[in-house]
Structure formats: structure tokens, C-alpha cells
Amino acid sequence: MEAKIKAFMDEVKARNGHEPEFIQAVQEVAETVIPYIAKHDIYNGKNILLRMVEPERLISFRVAWVDDEGEIHVNRGYRIQMNSAIGPYKGGLRFHPTVNASVLKFLAFEQVFKNSLTTLPMGGGKGGSDFDPKGKSDDEVMRFCHAFMTELCRHIGPNTDVPAGDIGVGAREIGFLFGMYKKIRNEFTGVLTGKGLSWGGSLIRPEATGYGTVYFADSMLKTQGKSFEGKKVVISGSGNVAQYAAEKVLQLGGKVLTLSDSGGYIYDKDGINEEKLAYVMDLKNNRRGRISDYVAKYPSAEFRKGETPWKVACDIALPCATQNELNGDDAAQLIKNGCIAVAEGANMPSTPEAIHAFHDAKILFAPGKASNAGGVATSGLEMSQNSLRISWTREEVDQRLKGIMSDIHDACIEYGKEDGGYCNYVKGANIAGFVKVADAMLAQGVI
Ligand SMILES: NC(=O)C1=CN([C@@H]2O[C@H](COP(=O)(O)OP(=O)(O)OC[C@H]3O[C@@H](n4cnc5c(N)ncnc54)[C@H](OP(=O)(O)O)[C@@H]3O)[C@@H](O)[C@H]2O)C=CC1
Ligand SMILES: O=C(O)CCC(=O)C(=O)O
């Protein structure tokens, strides 16, 4: 089996050698899915996984825009249309200086499995730009988004490809992107998700990724008769996912000790309660400030510059910032401090070494493609509401989100439970996600 996996990865590396994040994501899937394929005749000899690692379409384009001083800037825009076997391409747009083809291909690849796990009919895609919205005025962000959509609009549509937000793309950016799509195409349609409530958005979509991550972690804890009640929780990030993960942890009786951004993390030993979280939401979403500002408002908290929060002793860790933010040493520290569960709100935040450490220690570990799938699942619910031209209530969407997260948890258990009872959720998510897409690809022939 080792030889088979190596031969497969050699071929992937030969074609994508300069794309480390993409290779990392594929390696993790290959290690769990190739042994499964070997035991199931219908997939043998079809090169399904090799077809799945090649994007159906990779679009790259120039985005030229003018800043407030009249200076012209050029960024690179992308859309990776990875796999459409089970539905239109679906996945977020990331605006961040680290964006490149490797990062977006890893995200698009993960998205294929994640979207399959949601049980909704969505293929996988991802896109974005190396544009950095940080420090830009609202007008500059608007001009960039309009320029970006001027090209992207040719490649997307409600039955073709439906983008949404990700790092650096929130409600403000989705509004500007939607406005330009509508103007150019002269149609009001559900072409993006994460829209404002008065123009086609869904209740609970802003909360969905963070809430879903905590629902998934709660399901994992329940398998051991445990819950969030009274648990110390360490969270990284302070953006969309981190904020609503923190909100749900508080609702379930947990104590949130940390939040972070790329400048460092804040540690509040008294806990970040609802009032403090409301301050963070205003700071980040309206004033667009830094997490370090928290200690000026709440001086009993500490700001630890340039560090990640994994040294803080906790029961549960929720990495909700970015890829590879939690390495093998961090994992060892968490385990040493008695951490019992890790659920990824971000995409691929744990390095392979960290994941091996969690598995070796047999602690509960949920990979992002399972635990953060609530965001895209609720985007799928937004698409359904747009098609039906109706709006479901907050309670109705939340109930559906809970149901979907519980079904994903069950699917991971079905495919990931090992002898001795430990559930390898990475294996479970990869195989459960693979089966549905692979079966659709088999049915559709070699295309
Ligand atoms: N939004 C969604 O619905 C979904 C998001 N995700 C994933 O969740 C993660 C967070 O996304 P989201 O909350 O939407 O994004 P936001 O832009 O709202 O927030 C991102 C947060 O992560 C921090 N961050 C970004 N890059 C780094 C870095 N290199 N080092 C340390 N901190 C960093 C940011 O800090 P700073 O402001 O300093 O950059 C910010 O606090 C991403 O991995 C994303 O792919 C997954 C599923 C759905
Ligand atoms: O809501 C969506 O379509 C995309 C969410 C996303 O980008 C993700 O799940 O990583």
C-alpha cells in the first residue's frame, strides 16, 4: 500500500511540485482513500483520484484598480473550478497577500470533499486574489471588488459556479461583488452566497461556520459522554469563524480564553464573555482594528505579540485562523496540557505532524473539511431559498444546520471508526466525501 501511495504522490508532485499546500492536502487524502479504493473493485483501474486532483478549470486574470491617490495597482485574480460531478462549483473567495495557485488549489480540493459531506448538491471550487483589504478604504475595496467581478462574472452563474466569502471577504466585499455582477449581467440571481438579508441572504449564514464547528465538536464530545459545559476553550483567529465559534461555546457553557490575529493573541484568564465578544465583533467588523486593542479596553487580559495561543492550558482547541497555524510542537503542548478535543474551524490549520500527534494520543480530532462544513452547507441552504424565492426563519436554518453537522459526524464515524473504537475522523471524512463524488464521476464517464 505504501508503494501505491508513493507512486500516486510522485505523479502528483511531478505535475505540481511547486505547490506545497496543495501537495499537503492531497497527501492526507491519498493516505486514507487509496487503501479504500484498493478494497473496492468498482473504483479500481479508473484513475478516479488522479482525475480528482486535476482542476476541471483553472482561471487566472489581471485585476487593475485605482487607489484613493489615483495610483494604479495590479493584482492577480483566480477561480479554481475543481470538480462539478455532484453540482455547480461552490466555494469561497479569499483576498489575502499570501493567495497563490497552490493555496487556492488546496482549498478547492478540500472543498470538493467538504461539499460532498454536506449531503447537498454542490461541486467544489475556490478563488480569490493576492489583494490585501487591510488598511484600504471602503472606496478602494469597492473599486477592487468591481474590477475583480468585471472578469469573474464571465465564469460564474447560479447553475455554474457560486462563490462566497473566505479570509478577507465578508459582507462588505460580497455586497460590492454582487452589485457589479448584477449590473453587468442585468439579472438579480443567487450567484453569490453570504449576501445581505434584504437582498437574498440567509439568516444564520454569518454564524454558520463557527456554530457548525462547535456543533461538530459537541457531537464528538458526546461520544465520550462529555460536553462544553465548564470547559476551557482556546480559539485562534478573531474573524468570522472565530467570533461565532466563541459565541456558540459561550451559549453551551464553555469558557473562551483566547482569540488572535496575525499580530499575536490575547489571553483573558477571566474568560471572554458575551459583552467582551461584542466588543471584539465591533472592533473587527466595523472599526477593522487589531486584537491587541482588547487589552486597552480589558486591562486584566494579556496580549502576547507574535505568538499563537496553543501554549494556554485548555480542554478544547478550535483553530479558526488559517492553514498550518498549529504545528507538531503546538500539538504536543496541547496534549501535555490535557486537551481532549480539537476541531478545525479553519481549513487545514493543523500540520501533518500535529494531526499524527493527535491521533497517536487518541484525542478527539476533527478535520476542517468535516467540522467547518456548516458554512458552505448554509450557503447551500441560501441557494435553495434563492431558487424557491423564500426565506426560512432563523430557527429553521439553525435546525437544518444542526442536522447536517450531525449527519456529517455520523458519516465520519461510519467510515472512520477503527478497531478498538477510536474514530479517525480524517479517514472518515475523506472516504465519506470521496465515495459520493467518485460514484457520480463513474456514472458520468470519462470527461
Ligand atoms: N468564512 C467562512 O464561512 C469559512 C471560513 N473557513 C476558513 O476559516 C478560516 C478563517 O476564515 P474567516 O474567519 O472567514 O476569515 P476572516 O478574514 O474573517 O478572519 C481571518 C482571521 O484569521 C487571522 N489570520 C489570517 N491569516 C493569518 C495568519 N497568517 N496568521 C495568523 N492569523 C491569521 C486574521 O487575522 P488578521 O486580521 O491579522 O489577518 C483573522 O483574525 C480560514 O481558514 C477559512 O478558509 C472555512 C469554512 C467557511
Ligand atoms: O460558503 C461557501 O460557499 C464557501 C465556504 C468556504 O469557502 C469554505 O467552506 O471553505
Domain ranges of the chain: 1-54+427-447, 57-189, 206-371
Q: Where are the beta strands (DSSP E) in 96-192?
A: 124-129, 161-164
Instruction: Name the residue with the closest Cα to ligand 2, atom 7.
Output: 92
Say if domain 206-371 classifies as CATH 3.40.50.720. Answer: yes
Report which of 340, 320, 309, 311 is spatially closest to residue 231, judged by C-alpha positions. 340
End-to-end CA distance of the chain: 28
For β-strands 341-343 and 316-318, DSSP reports them as: parallel
Rounded to whole angstroms, the Cα distance separating 267 from 257 reads: 6
Long-range CB contact pairs, 396-403, < 8 A, 24+: 397/202, 397/203, 397/204, 397/205, 398/204, 398/211, 401/204, 401/208, 401/211, 401/212, 401/215, 401/374, 401/377, 402/215
Rounded to whole angstroms, the Cα distance separating 169 from 133 reads: 8
pLDDT at 231: 98
pLDDT at 149: 98
Q: Where are the beta strands (DSSP E) in 348-390?
A: 364-366
- Can you say which residues are annotated as belonging to the binding site for substrate? 90, 111, 114, 165, 379
pLDDT at 382: 98
**Does residue 346's CB lie within 6 angstroms of at least one atom of ligand 1?**
yes
Q: Are 383 and 190 in contact (CB under 8 A)?
A: yes
Q: Are 342 and 319 in contact (CB under 8 A)?
A: yes
**Does residue 192's CB lie within 6 angstroms of at least one atom of ligand 2?**
no
Query: What global pTM score does this model have?
Result: 0.98
Rounded to whole angstroms, the Cα distance separating 125 from 307 reads: 32
CA of 265 to the centre of ligand 2 (A): 25
Rounded to whole angstroms, the Cα distance separating 251 from 116 reads: 29
Rounded to whole angstroms, the Cα distance separating 91 from 157 reads: 13
pLDDT at 347: 98
Report which of 346, 302, 353, 293 is spatially closest to residue 328, judged by C-alpha positions. 353
**Does residue 168's CB lie within 6 angstroms of at least one atom of ligand 1?**
yes
Instruction: Name the residue with the closest Cα to ligand 1, atom 24.
Output: 321
Which residue among the candidates 39, 46, 126, 226 is catalytic per the annotation? 126
Neighbours of 70 (CB within 10 A): 6
Report which of 202, 224, 234 is spatially closest to residue 376, judged by C-alpha positions. 202
CA of 167 to the centre of ligand 1 (A): 5
Mean pLDDT per segment of 10 residues, for the chain of length 447 residues?
Answer: 96 96 98 97 94 98 98 98 98 98 98 98 98 97 98 98 98 98 97 97 98 98 98 98 98 98 98 98 96 98 98 98 98 98 98 98 98 98 97 98 98 96 98 98 96
Q: Indicate if 206-371 has the same CATH topology as 57-189.
A: yes
- Can you say which residues are annotated as belonging to the binding site? 90, 111, 114, 165, 209, 240, 379
pLDDT at 17: 85
Which superfamily, per CATH, for 57-189?
Leucine Dehydrogenase, chain A, domain 1 (3.40.50.10860)
Rounded to whole angstroms, the Cα distance separating 56 from 188 reads: 27
ipTM exceeding cut-off 0.85 for this assembly: yes
Exposure b/e, 189-226, CB count within 10 A at least 16 = b = bbbbbbbeeeebbbbbbbbbbbbbbbbbbbbbbeeeeb
Q: Are 340 and 366 in contact (CB under 8 A)?
A: no
CA of 94 to the centre of ligand 1 (A): 9
pLDDT at 158: 97
**Does residue 156's CB lie within 6 angstroms of at least one atom of ligand 2?**
no
